[in-house]
Amino acid sequence: MDQNLFSRRSFLAGSASLAALAAAKPGRAAAADSTITVVQPWEFRSLDPSVNAFVFGRAGITETLVLSAPDGRIEPGLAESWAVSGEGTVWRFRLREGATFHDGTAVTPLAVQASFERQLPNAQYLGTTGIVAIEAEGRDVVFRLREPFGPFLSYLLDRSLPVLAASSFDAAGGVREPVGTGPFRLVDADLPRGLTLARHAAYWGGEPGFAKAQYDAVPNGETRTNIAAAADADLVLNIPFQSVGRVERARAMRLDRVIIPRVHLLVPDCGKPQFADVRTRRALSLAIDRDGIAASIMRNPALAATQYMPPSLPLWHRADLAPHRQDVEQANRLLDEAGWARGADGIRARDGVRFAGAVRTFANRPELPVIATALQSQFRAVGFDLSIQVGEWQAIVEGREDGTLDLGLTSSNLTIVPDPIAKLSVEYTRDEVSGAVDTSPINWRSDEMRRDVATYLSSGDEAERTLCRERIAGVLQRELPVIPIVWYEEITAVADRIQGFVMDPFEQRLLRREISSQA
Amino acid sequence: MTPIGRIVTGRLAQALLTAWVLATVCFAMVHALPGDTALRIAEARVGHDRMTADITDRIRAETGLDRPLALQYAAWMGRLATGDLGRSLVTGRPVAEELADRGRYTLSLGLVGWCLAYALALPLGLYAGFRPGSLVDRATTLVAVGLASLPTFLVGVGLISLFAVALNWLPPAGYRTTAHMVLPAVTLALGLAAYSVRIVRAAVVEVRTAFFMTFARIKGLDAVTAFRRHGLRNAAIPVTTFAALQFAYMIDGFVIVETLFNYPGIGDLLVKSLLARDVPVIMGAGLAVGFLYAVVNLIADLLCLKLDPRRAARGLR
């Protein structure tokens, strides 16, 4: 009978075989105790630190003369000590004895000088410090500056300029691969997906707790969440806050949360009539329910940005500042005073100008469009009609250049170097702000802030710098050239076997000396 | 020239022309998009946080994006004439290297998923075709319709939840070991099999009801022999065409599966290159995908000719 050609039994047997075949492979090779596996969202686009700036420093491949601690303090790195003289124009660094590059060559003053000189043209922030000469003198490396530069140590932590061995460079002077001095050396690079590192046995700070480190780039947040839920790595960085519950329910890894120096903010064009008067910016700020946005969208009430600088920047965060808070009545009063009268539709207008605008934002940070929607409803309560345009972040830059931007909703990393002054001096004190930046104020100027930033940059007196910081934070709070909404937290899933992990809010180094694996 | 030789030559010429047109359309469309290409390239290189105007201007000058479009296109054509697809504007690597690197992952995963799909679809489709209306036929219809209507990412998430998170048998994402290929391959296979099982079944049912099969049975052949001798080839023609189409469809990658499982394929490369406006990679990929698509279809046609030599005389109609 033809129906017997394929029996039901043979199908069941076939299906069982396929299932067995699929199950036969072990799920994941258990990593040897001496290997730490790290999953991160950032791809490894290049082996050149001036391009892929913070990846190599964070992985512990490269470092420089100083290091930064998780609390922001500057610590000795390749330099064991330093001194400043010549009224702040001469910075002398005494090199640590016995430090070696990953290729075995010694870290000598000449090698450090050569490394800085080769890379300085590409340095983003260190290049702005006015270095006129770098010299090797005995055990010291000396930087001579055109004029005093107070935060020079922080600028040295510009991650686009680590100390590299001569063997890092090709004949044309470009970086072939980063041969650094950090606790891990690069063994294999599978660009842009992963890096394999091995312990630098001669590391000056003592051998790291792991013989190998495997870094994998997983840009998709949901995929990282799956990896954390399955505990398929030792550290999974940047767990999306929307997925925290899933990782917690899986109970396969614990979560480490730290507020980092990043702020989501609204950038109004202060040249437009709706935002030119500081009272309207204050009114919009008073309309924002930051606690609600932090609790319901960011899932952490502590992220409500009561001021521009988050508490993870203790030198800049001012506990004495009157916090940004929601007060719709006060907002309406301010707008009435400023002459913005409500129309029949509840939206205000003045001199024929409607109190309205479009906010441009982007979905790479999925919370931003949601925050925009919350702002839309909160602004309506004070008579502002907000429309939302979600696209690429570049649309904010392009809009500010062609004058079509009303408001941008974006995210700002405050510590490309550990001192936010680097960001402020570039974005808040120049008439011609870089045309590629979407986080700086638009058509806003404060001479007070310019003076304080200039004083801060040139002063070596900590008391004077403290006063500058306080005044700058005050201007930002009062003038609201940008309106901070929420700070941001870095959420890391940590395997149970990993001990001593501390997330560095400045994102300078991931695997610090204290980290180890449980026996 | 033999009829087959004429077909192959004609199709290869068509393939080259299609690939060139596709690459040119890619070039035109990318440049027709609003916005500054150099800004996007710069962001893809250094990241959003480190963007400055200096970096953008430097990239604009060094990549030649400030030249007129006609010159940029002519430069690309000139390089292409020497077999050079150029370099990625983001990574600086040769485009051919980028495509080969990603292509091997896409092709290996695609091949495994495709084979697995037909390992499921052929026996199930044949069985259902031989027993239309049976429990297995109805069950495969139900499952196939269900799988075809489910978005691929849901199937993938379901498999990850079960095999990676709950049972911990397989890794949830990655590409380094064979085990990493299992879940994405099964996700792909289930999506492909949902359609192919119905095609196989329909082909078998159609052939079994054909007059020549009745004649074969009247001649005294048993059902199995009649199908093996006279039915199999006829049923295989539509299945081969459909299977080739499914395989060709996979050449340009399967973005959802690659993203969900962090599998580094062509689809992932294309999406990232489009977002970054990495024109040489987009054009190179357009060229390669267009050509491979045509080649796979040519192979399918040749297989169909082998199955039914009468088609050669009709010019593959």
Q: Residues of B with CB below 8 A from A14's CB? A: 123
> Using 50, 70 and 90 to split pLDDT, how confident is the model at B46?
confident
Q: What is the pTM of this model?
A: 0.85
Report how far apart, in Å, the C-alpha atoms of A13 and of each of A10, A16, A222, B123 are: 5, 5, 36, 12
Please tell me the distance from the alpha carbon of residue B204 to that of residue B216, in angstroms, as a whole number: 15
The answer, yes or no, to whether residue A2 has pLDDT greater than 50, is no
Please tell me the distance from the alpha carbon of residue B284 to that of residue B280, in angstroms, as a whole number: 6
Question: How many residues are listed for chain A in this entry?
Answer: 519
Using a CB–CB cutoff of 8 Å, tell me whether B45 touches chain A.
yes
Using a CB–CB cutoff of 8 Å, tell me whether B173 touches chain A.
yes
Q: How far is CA B287 from the centre of its chain?
A: 14
pLDDT cut 90: percent of chain B above it: 34
CB pairs under 8 A between A and B: 152
Using a CB–CB cutoff of 8 Å, tell me whether B48 touches chain A.
yes
Cross-chain residue pair A18–B120, CB shorter than 8 Å: yes
Model pLDDT, residue A23: 43
In chain A, whose CA is at the least distance from the CA of B58? A122
Report how far apart, in Å, the C-alpha atoms of A124 and of each of A416, A488, B54 are: 10, 24, 9
When mean pLDDT is compared across B180-184, B249-253, B269-273, the lowest value belongs to: B249-253
| Chain position carrying tokens 């041969």 | A179
Question: Is the peptide bond prior to A49 cis by the omega test (within 30 degrees of 0)?
Answer: no
Question: Which phi and psi (to 5°) does residue A496 adopt?
Answer: -60, -30
Looking at CA atoms only, how far is residue A190 from chain B in angstroms? 10
Mean local confidence (pLDDT), B259-287 = 89
The answer, yes or no, to whether residue A17 has pLDDT greater than 60, is no
Cross-chain residue pair A223–B42, CB shorter than 8 Å: no
The answer, yes or no, to whether residue A30 has pLDDT greater than 70, is no
Q: Are A102 and A181 in contact (CB under 8 A)?
A: yes
Using a CB–CB cutoff of 8 Å, tell me whether B232 touches chain A.
no
The answer, yes or no, to whether residue A6 has pLDDT greater than 50, is no
Indicate the average pLDDT of chain A: 89
Model pLDDT, residue A340: 96
Cross-chain residue pair A124–B53, CB shorter than 8 Å: no
Q: Which amino acid appears at position A96 of this protein?
A: R
Longest C-alpha distance within chain A, in Å?
Answer: 103
Looking at CA atoms only, how far is residue A315 from chain B in angstroms? 22
The answer, yes or no, to whether residue B39 has pLDDT greater than 90, is no
Instruction: Give the 3-state DSSP-derived string for A341-406, with helices as H, strands as E and coil as C.
Output: EECCCCCEEECCEECEEEEEEECCCCHHHHHHHHHHHHHHCCCCEEEEEEECCHHHHHHHHHCCCC
The answer, yes or no, to whether residue A14 has pLDDT greater than 80, is no
Looking at CA atoms only, how far is residue B148 from chain A in angstroms? 20
Query: Is A498 or A17 the better-scoring residue by pLDDT?
Result: A498
In the stretch 238-267 of chain B, residues with CB closer than 8 A to chain A read: 259-262, 264
When mean pLDDT is compared across A82-91, A137-146, A394-403, B288-297, the lowest value belongs to: B288-297
Please tell me the distance from the alpha carbon of residue A374 to that of residue B261, in angstroms, as a whole number: 32
Mutate to test the interface with A, among B33, B51, B186 (most CBs of A within 10 A): B51
Question: Which phi and psi (to 5°) does residue A354 adopt?
Answer: -75, 140
Identity of the highest mean pLDDT range in A108-112, B59-63, B313-317: A108-112
Using a CB–CB cutoff of 8 Å, tell me whether B138 touches chain A.
no
CA angle A299, A304, A307 (to 5 degrees): 160
| Chain position carrying tokens 């986080």 | A439
Mutate to test the interface with A, among B43, B46, B188 (most CBs of A within 10 A): B46
Please tell me the distance from the alpha carbon of residue B126 to that of residue B98, in angstroms, as a whole number: 41
Cross-chain residue pair B223–A2, CB shorter than 8 Å: yes
Please tell me the distance from the alpha carbon of residue B213 to that of residue A343, in angstroms, as a whole number: 81
**Residue of A509, A513, A459, A518 whose CA lies nearest to A63:** A509
Question: Which phi and psi (to 5°) does residue A260 adopt?
Answer: -105, 165
Q: What is the ipTM of this complex?
A: 0.82
pLDDT tens digits along B290-301: 888 888 888 888
For chain B, what is the total number of helices (H) and then of strands (E)?
A: 15, 0
Indicate the average pLDDT of chain B: 88
> Using 50, 70 and 90 to split pLDDT, how confident is the model at B30?
confident
In chain A, whose CA is at the least distance from the CA of B272? A219
Cross-chain residue pair B48–A364, CB shorter than 8 Å: yes
Helix axes B37-46, B53-63, angle to 10 degrees: 110
Mean local confidence (pLDDT), A39-57 = 86
> Using 50, 70 and 90 to split pLDDT, how confident is the model at A39?
very high
A79 Cβ contact list (under 8 Å, min separation 6): A65, A66, A93, A94, A95, A96, A141
Mean local confidence (pLDDT), A331-359 = 96
> Using 50, 70 and 90 to split pLDDT, how confident is the model at A519?
low
Cross-chain residue pair A394–B168, CB shorter than 8 Å: no
B283 Cβ contact list (under 8 Å, min separation 6): B23, B26, B27, B76, B85, B86
Nearest Cβ partner for B42 among A250, A416, A436: A436
Q: Which amino acid appears at position A295 of this protein?
A: A
Model pLDDT, residue A173: 81
pLDDT tens digits along A271-297: 999 999 999 999 999 999 999 999 999
The answer, yes or no, to whether residue A116 has pLDDT greater than 50, is yes
Mean local confidence (pLDDT), A296-325 = 95
In chain B, whose CA is at the least distance from the CA of A414? B49
Cross-chain residue pair A364–B44, CB shorter than 8 Å: no
Question: Is the peptide bond prior to B123 cis by the omega test (within 30 degrees of 0)?
Answer: no
Mean local confidence (pLDDT), B254-277 = 89
Tokens of A8: 């039901």
Using a CB–CB cutoff of 8 Å, tell me whether B175 touches chain A.
yes
Report how far apart, in Å, the C-alpha atoms of B113 and of each of A20, A341, B238, B279 are: 17, 64, 20, 30
Q: Residues of B with CB below 8 A from A364's CB? A: 48
pLDDT tens digits along A152-207: 999 999 888 899 999 999 888 888 899 999 999 999 999 889 999 999 999 998 88
> Using 50, 70 and 90 to split pLDDT, how confident is the model at A145?
very high
| Chain position carrying tokens 């079994």 | B208
In chain B, whose CA is at the least distance from the CA of A46? B91
Please tell me the distance from the alpha carbon of residue B171 to that of residue A416, in angstroms, as a whole number: 35
The answer, yes or no, to whether residue A229 has pLDDT greater than 90, is yes
Nearest Cβ partner for A27 among B48, B179, B259: B179
The answer, yes or no, to whether residue B67 has pLDDT greater than 90, is no
Q: Residues of B with CB below 8 A from A6's CB? A: 123, 126-127, 130-131
Q: Residues of B with CB below 8 A from A1's CB? A: 223
A74 has which bridge partners?
A68
Model pLDDT, residue B317: 56
For chain A, what is the total number of helices (H) and then of strands (E)?
A: 15, 21
Model pLDDT, residue B222: 87
Looking at CA atoms only, how far is residue B275 from chain A in angstroms? 9
Instruction: Give the 3-state DSSP-derived string for A133-153, with helices as H, strands as E and coil as C.
Output: EEEEECCEEEEEECCCCCCHH
Model pLDDT, residue A121: 84
What is the 8-class DSSP label of residue A96? P
Kind of pairing, strands A356-362 and A385-391?
A: parallel
Question: Which phi and psi (to 5°) does residue A58 adopt?
Answer: -65, -35
A91 has which bridge partners?
A84, A143
Please tell me the distance from the alpha carbon of residue A186 to that of residue A195, in angstroms, as a whole number: 7
Tokens of A203: 């590391």
Q: Residues of A with CB below 8 A from B159's CB? A: none
> Using 50, 70 and 90 to split pLDDT, how confident is the model at B313?
low
In the stretch 176-215 of chain B, residues with CB closer than 8 A to chain A read: 177-179, 182, 186
Nearest Cβ partner for B182 among A25, A226, A231: A25
Model pLDDT, residue B251: 74
Tokens of A21: 């075949």
Q: Are B30 and B277 in contact (CB under 8 A)?
A: yes
